[in-house]
Structure 1
Amino acid sequence: MTDPSSDSSPADVAALSFEEALRRLEAIVHQLEAGDVPLERSIELYAEGDRLRGRCEERLKAAQARIERIQLGPNGGVAGVRPFDDD
């Protein structure tokens, strides 16, 4: 992974795992909350944070799509699967 204090280009963000993107996003939030970043740098960090947020959301949606709930049949065996959020 790149240094958490460095910028991530859109291509770099696309290559990050969920955990890497989340760590970088948390570092950006911390920097912005500290309030000691010049305005122009804050805008750059905000834009990078938005790309990272999108990447995290994309990865979470992909993970959710793969999660399936096992349904048990009347004899206790597996009767099939359905999407996790299908109630």
Structure 2
Amino acid sequence: MDNRSTELAERVRSALVRAAVEAYEDAGLSGLCAEGRWEAAVGAIRTLDLRSVCGLEESGLPPAPESSRTASTLGDLPTIESRTDSPETP
């Protein structure tokens, strides 16, 4: 990976971690349980505007169409009980 790609990847990772931690902490202050806090953190990751993190909004490119955005609400998130992508434990 070249320096520019590495810098971009680091910027995206930092923004995702920051969004998740802030959402997790805010949810805790709101009285949510650990599962609710986790769902809030995942929701923050899913709704983070990656175009602005990557600097695409400033480049003069038009914003992404609504249909391609990954915005979701907490109600759209799978709960721990409803997850089907994790392996079953014996």
> The TM-score by the shorter chain falls in which range?
0.3 to 0.5
TM normalised by structure 1 equals 0.33
TM normalised by structure 2 equals 0.32
Larger Rg, first or second structure (1 or 2): 1
